[in-house]
Structure 1
Amino acid sequence: MPKLPILKPRKVSKALERAGFILARQKGSHRIYIKDRLGVMIPYHNKDLKPKTLKHIIKQSGLEIEEFIKLL
């Protein structure tokens, strides 16, 4: 398994959009993306996402880590 990069939420959002996710709504500093029946919540602020948080986002999206990294 490749090491997860430290990313800004904006870059993660763009990768999810390339994977076919659509921004459903935003509440406060969290954005919720949907695709089919999958929902992914991203904390959207100026801080970097920790690798553990990024891993959880990737797991929620149903993508493999390698697939996600290719979308960046």
Structure 2
Amino acid sequence: MPKVPGVNHKNAIRALEKADFVVAREGKHTVMTNGERILTIPRHNPINAITMGAIVRDAGLTVDEFRKLL
């Protein structure tokens, strides 16, 4: 599984917004969608590398594509 270490949750949300995801709901987690996919981003810092890698994979992005969006 790809790893993206030490990403702040706000930076992750901004990067995913650049990839056409929008915030659907916020609470202890932020839920984002692009109409096809639903992502759940934990609101703690930093997001665990394995967790962030799974979120990136679920978004349909590669680690390199996500890093460019950061």
Structure 2 residue runs of 5 or longer lacking an equivalent are none
RMSD of aligned residue pairs (Cα, Å): 1.5
- Give the Cα separation in 2 of the matches to 1:3 and 1:21: 21
Residue 8 of structure 1 aligns with which residue? 8
CA change 1:3–1:24 in 2 (3 A) is closer
**CA shift at 1:4, angstroms?**
2.4
The higher radius of gyration belongs to 1
TM-score of the two chains, using structure 2 as the length reference: 0.88
Q: Any idea what the Cα deviations from partners look like across 1:5-48, whole Å, max 9, x if unmatched?
A: 3111011000000111000112x310110012101100013x21
Residues 3 and 61 (structure 1), Cα distance of their counterparts in 2 relative to 1, 3 Å cut: closer
Segments of structure 1 that go 5 or more residues without pairing to the other structure are: none
**TM-score, length-scaled by structure 1:** 0.86
Residue number in structure 1 paired with 2:39: 40
Aligned residues: 69
